[in-house]
Amino acid sequence: MRNSRTLARLRNGEPVRICSLGHFIPSYVAHAARHGYDCIWLDLEHNAISTEEFRSLMPHFHMHDIDCMVRPKTRDRTSLYRYLEDGATGLLIPHVSTPELAQELVDAVKFPPLGDRGICGANLDSDYLGHPLSDYIEHAIQETFLVVQLETPTAIENAEKIASTPGVDGLFVGPGDLGIRVAHDATAMSVEAAIAHVAEIAAKTNKAWGLPVTADSIRTRRDQGAQLLAHGNDFLAMLQMLEQWSGEFTNALSPANNGTAKPAQQV
C-alpha cells in the first residue's frame, strides 16, 4: 500500500504540484511523475474515460508513485469508494455548496469513525488482500483524501461550515464555474474576493485549499496560502505543441526561408 504524496506535502506545509488528465494516456502518468508532479487530477466529470480504462490506468499511478485525484462524474456512494478501491488516492468532488452534502460525501468515502464507507479489502488499494484488514483501514484513513470544490456563491457563503466538516481534507475553488454564476448574481462577491475569503477560512479551520493556477499566478496564490496548485493538462499540452509545431512549418516554408529571396546587397 503506497502513501499519499499529496498528504505528505500538506502535512509538511508544502505546496502540492498538480496537473490534470482527461484521456487514457498511461505515458502521461509516467512523465508527470518524472517531472516532479505530486498528483494528477483525473477529470471524469468532463471527459469520457471508461471504467476499464480507469482501472487500467491505476497501476501506472502506483508504479510511478504519483497520486491520482479523481473528479468523478457521479456522487453515487458506492461508485465513489470504488474509485478508491481501484487505486485512486483522493477525490475532488465538484459543486459542493452545502455542509450537508459535504457530510454525505464524508459518509460515503471515509471509514468509521469519520464516515460509513463500505469495505472489501480485495482490491488494488489493499494490495489485493495483502494486509490485515485493520492495517488496511488505518492506512485508508491516513493516506486517502477528500477535496471539495466551491463553485457557487452559496458554496462561498457556506465555506466555513463546509471546511469545518470532519473528514473534508481540502477546499478547491472552481473559478470558471464560480465566475459564470457571479456574473449573474448581483449580490455575490467577486471571484477574487471569494478566493481571498476561502483562503481566510482555510487558515481559520486549518484546512488545505487550492485552485487552478497560471504561470503568472502561482506565486500569488502560494503567498495567499494555497497548497493545492493545479497547473498543466493534456489538452493544453496538445493544443500548444501543435500550435508551436505548425508555426515551425510556417516559418521554415515561408518565402524568406526557401532560398528564393534575393541576397542582401553588399555595402
Which of 41, 137, 56 has the alpha carbon at shortest distance from 90? Answer: 41
Handedness of CA 142, 146, 147, 148 (dihedral sign): negative
Please give the mean pLDDT across all residues of the chain: 95
Q: What does the pLDDT read at residue 264?
A: 47
Q: In angstroms, rounded to a whole number, what is the distance separating the alpha carbons of residues 184 and 180?
A: 7
Q: What CA–CA distance (Å, rounded) separates 133 from 229?
A: 34
**Residue 266 in this model has a pLDDT that exceeds 50:** no
pTM of the predicted structure, to 2 decimals: 0.92
- Predicted confidence at residue 259, as pLDDT, reads 58
Indicate the DSSP class of residue 33. H
- Which alpha helices (H) appear in 35-76, and where do they start and end? 51-63
C-alpha 196/C-alpha 61 separation (Å) is 33
Distance CA 131, CA 28 (A): 30
Over residues 105-130, the mean pLDDT reads 95
pLDDT range class, residue 109, cuts 50, 70, 90: very high
CA distances from 79 to 23, 70, 120, 259 (A): 19, 12, 13, 62
Q: Which helix (H) or strand (E) holds 10?
A: helix 5-11
Q: In the block, which residue shows the cell 518565402? A: 255
Over range 199-210, report the average pLDDT.
98
Across 162-183, average pLDDT: 96
Average pLDDT, stretch 191-196?
97
Per-residue pLDDT reduced to its tens digit, 221-256: 999 999 999 999 999 999 999 999 999 999 999 888
pLDDT digits (tens, 9 = 90+) for 5-52: 999 999 999 999 999 999 999 999 999 999 999 999 999 999 989 999
Rounded distance between C-alpha atoms, residue 231 and residue 208, angstroms: 17
State the alpha helices, DSSP H only, in 110-217: 133-143, 153-157, 159-163, 175-183, 191-205
